[in-house]
Amino acid sequence: VQLQESGPGLVKPSETLSLTCTVSGDSITSYYWNWIRQSAGKGLEWIGRIHPTGNVNYNPSLKSRVTMSVDTSKNQFSLELTSVTAADTAVYYCVREDAALPGWGRGTLVTVSS
Amino acid sequence: DIQMTQSPSTLSVSIGDRVTITCRASQNIINWLAWYQQKPGEAPKLLIYRASTLESGVPSRFSGSGSGTDFALTISSLQPDDFATYYCQQYQSFPYTFGQGTKLEI
């Protein structure tokens, strides 16, 4: 299974960060799909996860700003993070969950700056 | 949130060394613990899950132990490819949380 993140590498403060993860090699319907980010200041931070049935779990620290969705027809899932600040600058990973987190995308750097 | 505390933060090691990294959870996570290896510029790679189950394809020199709140990752004989940063992660409850990492250096 391969995962590939895509989306803008630069987002302005107060705007919305939008990323998509394309899954190849397996059906997206079989697992939970996570977003995790990594910054120098906060290490690895779990953002949340989604199942194609619609079940979602978000990190309470980000819950008010996060929305995840799944498009099974495209084998993709997405992340939206609103009202971003410099603290949201990080490498964002999409990750497959199956007895822990065995499948990671390569990550995409998102910088929040005007 | 469950806090995960790793020690040490940095470990100076040599090829062939037996290396042990510890991870302590702020509350009982039973055995819902995973270990990851991360090299610069790469995504983390799962090594061990359920505290002691080796992920497919991971060399047998890696092993995990522990339950409850105290866990350990052991590398029986350090190889050149093992110089990396290692993270523990709990998945007993939301939000999933990670340790701060342990960097192995020469």
DSSP label at A70?
E
Considering only CB atoms, A43 lies closest to which of B34, B53, B100, namely B100
Q: pLDDT of A11-70, one tens digit each?
A: 999 999 999 999 999 889 989 999 999 998 779 999 999 999 989 999 999 999 999 999
Both structure tokens of B95: 């939000």
- Compute the distance between CA of residue B47 and CA of residue A92 in angstroms, rounded to an integer: 21
CB A95 within 8 A of CB A105: yes
- Give CA–CA dist A49/B25, Å, rounded: 22
Nearest-CA residue of chain B relative to A46? B96
Calculate how close chain A gets to B80, using CA atoms only, in Å.
Answer: 23
At B16-71, the pLDDT tens digits run: 999 999 999 999 999 999 999 999 999 999 999 999 999 999 999 999 999 999 99
Q: Sorting pLDDT into bands at 50, 70 and 90, what band is A99?
A: confident
Q: Which residues of A touch B36 (CB under 8 A)?
A: 101
Question: By the 8 A CB rule, do A49 and A59 touch?
Answer: no
Identify from A32, A42, A44, A68 which residue to disrupt to test chain B contact, counting B C-beta atoms within 10 A and taking the largest count: A44
B87 CB near a chain A CB, below 8 Å?
Answer: yes
